[in-house]
């Protein structure tokens, strides 16, 4: 099975339940077929700093569980990955640790390979660098 590039993304907000607009936006992009969610961990940090977790194996709310591409998530995330991600979630916030496959890139790569080509580089440009470049060119960006 061919797979596309995979990224890890951590989002946080005061609340992220199954009815959240963030979850709706994620569902929208998943439904487009551009990406697939291959693993998810819900990270909740109480105001006192206590952290709790829920994942596809235990405690993940059904609306979030239903976003996964496969009934059994992959085991790409280690305990260290989850601990690192949880450090970025502030007190009183809930975070989503997402493992996303870029299916659009997989499809493009397959076509390049069909033509005898190869993907030579796939690199993520940091968001802040992109915003600075837009602003340097006089365009508004956030």
Q: What is the pLDDT of residue 76?
A: 82
| Residues of the chain predicted below pLDDT 70 | 1, 17-19, 71, 73-74
Give pLDDT, residue 19: 63
Candidates 60, 85, 87, 86; CA nearest to 73 is 60
Predicted local confidence at residue 124, as pLDDT:
82
The token pair at 81 is 């990955």
Specify the pTM: 0.83
List pLDDT tens digits, range 94-124.
Answer: 999 999 999 998 889 889 999 999 888 888 8
Q: What is the pLDDT of residue 24?
A: 87
44/36 Cα distance (integer angstroms): 23
pLDDT at 36: 93
- The token duo for 12 is 């946080």
């Amino acid at each position: 099975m061919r797979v596309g590039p995979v990224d890890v993304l951590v989002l946080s907000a005061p609340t992220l339940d199954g009815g959240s607009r963030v979850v709706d936006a994620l569902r929208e992009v998943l439904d487009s077929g551009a990406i697939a969610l291959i693993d998810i961990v819900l990270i909740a940090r109480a105001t006192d700093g206590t952290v709790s977790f829920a994942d596809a194996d235990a405690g993940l709310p059904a609306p979030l569980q239903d976003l996964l591409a496969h009934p059994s998530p992959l085991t790409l995330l280690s305990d260290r990955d989850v601990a690192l991600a949880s450090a970025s979630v502030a007190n009183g916030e809930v975070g989503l640790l997402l493992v996303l496959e870029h299916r659009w890139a997989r499809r493009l790569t397959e076509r390049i390979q069909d033509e005898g080509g190869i993907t030579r580089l796939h690199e993520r440009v940091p968001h802040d660098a992109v915003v600075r470049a837009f602003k340097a060119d006089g365009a508004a960006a956030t």
